[in-house]
């Protein structure tokens, strides 16, 4: 909440017209509209300095985009969070050291990743937590499978890692703590067609987290979209899309759920010599991103549901891409019933399950014209380590000389190499073994080492390569609480984190990330307030030429708006209006 008591969604609406960009900010920070450098009496050096402060200079800290990726791994996502928690602890140490060296050090109680901005209320629901948020150090947080759940909590819900650990524990208990006795993934899979875990439990557990931890301004929390406001940490979630090409079913085609737009511009020239902006499937371009275009407009819980639809464990998810409805097909003795679940969760019947002949005809016509896609867990395939898919996506975005990858942290789940059981040669065991081998994350890591050297960015992999043989991806013991499983992971992690080579990794990553954050905060107050707090502005003037719901994402662009067209000149009046018109992300208090 701002000091004036304003609470609104952090800029989810359409951005300011014609000046909502860093380029506009650079002109707002010293060059008059329409003036040359000479007319404005500003030297080229001064202009370049201002340009660097605006984030549009290659040497700016804003030019370096930091990336965090999570492997898939079922309950072992808890192990991934332990690694991230340790990294944030090292970050805290470095932040405190840098603060002590400062000419104007902050008080210890005021230190946080929001600095120099103040820390908002109710950021954490835990009695003890590290006040340093991953979303302040990473521009892109990405994941697949249960790593996608972590991604949503860290990026879209902007949570501290300690809160994520608590929520993950609750999620795992609800989802993995109550397996069915007989199921497809067990020894009787050939005769028992039920999935191992309840899909309903999964959906309700994810919705509960979003309801409790979403932004205050989201009235319909369950329908909170995965899309993130401009200027804030972004989310990339990798899933598998079942597709039929040339009559051959491909079950592991990666699909990207992105929280932002990616209108990919191809390098394929048109007749007049300019490149074209089209969907990548319309031309042969190996560098094209997956399913480029408008960002995902689905509810966050649906994206989480698609990302965790592991074969044999949960029902796959079928979505109508034109409006985001979910379809579940249920076979009956005489016909197939198709149930559509809308964004609000309302269950309706379509297709052959309609109530009368007219509805049947209408819905059959509708089904013929709608595009539905079936999604499954990206962890059951080559994207279990999503780093390569994310790199492909970022290469299509960061093509400007002003943006590049800075530090990349890839976090694993201590997955053990896949081995077969000679005493269990049944079909289900063979199928699961095939999935496991295909989803081995280490070959992707090895290729990423080479790619990082080629693209010249810092790459760090945090993972126990020997695995956790005593913890299976779906094991949660004892049922419900999972205390035994969590204790096993904590003990194994403590041993791994104490190794000298891993301590060095944590320290190196922490120093690079802290240096970048502190430099950003000092370069541009406008950009940092937006990135750290989600701050934006709404014009209060009744005679404003823009629509009442227009928003300005940055302080400098809103200042330009007040000075023109509203012709505000009194500095005290302008400062008062800035305070009156600002809105920020507001966390929900416990038991909201």
List residues with catalytic annotation.
145, 377
Cα separation, 134 vs 38, whole angstroms = 43
Question: Residue 467, Cβ neighbours under 10 Å: how many?
Answer: 17
Question: DSSP labels for 439-482?
Answer: T-SHHHHHHHHHHHHHHT-EEEEE--TT--TT--TT--SSTTT-
| Residue 98, SS3 per DSSP | helix
Q: How far apart are CA 137 and CA 141, in angstroms?
A: 10
Q: How far is CA 326 from CA 26, 314, 524, in A?
A: 44, 15, 43
DSSP E strand stretches across 45-157:
64-70, 140-144
Contact 283, 266 (CB under 8 A): yes
Quick one: tokens of 116?
A: 């120099």
> What does the block give as tokens for 252?
């592991």
3-state secondary structure of 94: helix
CA proximity to 408, closest of 69, 15, 47? 69
User: What is the longest distance spanned by two Cα atoms in the chain?
Assistant: 84
Cβ atoms within 10 A of the Cβ of 336, count?
A: 11
d(CA 24, CA 19): 5
Helix extents (H) in 2-43 = 22-28
Count other Cβ atoms within 10 Å, centred on residue 495. 10
Q: How far apart are CA 533 and CA 586, in angstroms?
A: 9
Helix (H) or strand (E) holding 189: none
CB 579 within 8 A of CB 2: yes
């Amino acid at each position: 909440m701002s000091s004036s008591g304003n609470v609104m969604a952090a800029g989810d609406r359409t951005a300011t017209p014609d000046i909502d960009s860093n380029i506009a900010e650079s002109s707002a920070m010293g060059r008059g509209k329409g003036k040359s450098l000479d007319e404005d009496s500003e030297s080229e050096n001064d202009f370049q300095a201002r340009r660097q402060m605006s984030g549009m200079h290659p040497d700016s800290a804003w030019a370096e985009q930091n990336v965090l990726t999570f492997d898939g791994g079922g309950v072992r996502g808890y192990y991934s969070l332990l690694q991230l928690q340790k990294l944030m602890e090292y970050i805290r140490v470095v932040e405190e050291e840098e603060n002590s060296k400062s000419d104007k050090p902050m008080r210890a109680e005021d230190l946080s990743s929001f600095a120099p901005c103040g820390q908002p209320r109710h950021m954490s629901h835990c009695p003890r937590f590290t006040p340093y948020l991953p979303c302040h150090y990473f521009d892109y947080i990405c994941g697949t499978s249960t790593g996608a759940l972590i991604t949503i909590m860290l990026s879209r819900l902007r949570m501290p890692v300690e809160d994520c650990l608590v929520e993950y524990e609750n999620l795992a208990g609800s989802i993995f703590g109550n397996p069915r006795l007989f199921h497809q993934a067990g020894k009787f899979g050939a005769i028992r067609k039920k999935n191992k875990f309840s899909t309903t439990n999964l959906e309700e557990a994810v919705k509960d987290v979003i309801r409790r931890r979403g932004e205050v301004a989201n009235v319909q929390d369950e329908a909170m979209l995965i899309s993130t406001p401009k200027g804030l940490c972004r989310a990339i979630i990798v899933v598998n899309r079942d597709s039929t090409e040339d009559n051959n079913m491909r079950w592991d085609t990666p699909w990207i759920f992105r929280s932002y737009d990616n209108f990919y511009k191809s390098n394929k020239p048109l007749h007049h010599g300019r490149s074209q902006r089209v969907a990548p499937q319309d031309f042969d371009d190996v560098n094209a991103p997956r399913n480029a275009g408008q960002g995902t407009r689905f509810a966050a819980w649906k994206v989480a549901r698609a990302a965790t639809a592991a074969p044999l464990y949960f029902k796959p998810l079928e979505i109508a891409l034109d409006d985001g409805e979910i379809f579940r097909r249920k076979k009956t003795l005489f016909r197939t019933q198709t149930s559509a679940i809308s964004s609000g969760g309302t269950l309706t019947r379509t297709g052959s399950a309609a109530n009368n002949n007219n509805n049947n005809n209408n819905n059959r016509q509708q089904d013929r014209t709608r595009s539905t896609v079936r999604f499954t867990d990206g962890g059951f395939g080559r994207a279990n380590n999503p780093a390569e898919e994310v790199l492909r996506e970022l290469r299509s975005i960061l093509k400007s000389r002003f943006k590049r990858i800075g530090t990349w942290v890839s976090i694993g789940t201590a997955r053990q190499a896949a081995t077969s059981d000679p005493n269990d040669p049944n079909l289900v065991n063979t199928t699961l073994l095939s999935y496991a081998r295909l989803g081995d994350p280490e070959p992707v890591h090895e290729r990423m080492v080479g790619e990082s050297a080629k693209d010249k960015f810092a790459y760090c992999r945090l993972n126990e390569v020997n695995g956790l043989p005593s913890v299976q991806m779906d094991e949660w013991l004892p049922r419900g609480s999972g205390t035994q499983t969590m204790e096993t992971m904590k003990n194994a992690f403590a041993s791994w984190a104490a190794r000298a080579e891993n301590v060095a990794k944590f320290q190196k990553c922490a120093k690079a990330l802290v240096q970048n954050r502190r430099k950003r905060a000092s370069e541009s107050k406008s950009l940092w307030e937006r990135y750290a707090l989600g701050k934006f502005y709404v014009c209060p003037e009744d005679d404003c030429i823009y629509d009442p719901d227009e928003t300005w994402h940055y302080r400098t662009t809103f200042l330009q708006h007040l000075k023109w067209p509203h012709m505000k000149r009194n500095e005290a009046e302008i400062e008062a209006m800035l305070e009156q018109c600002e809105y920020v992300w507001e966390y929900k208090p416990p038991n909201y």
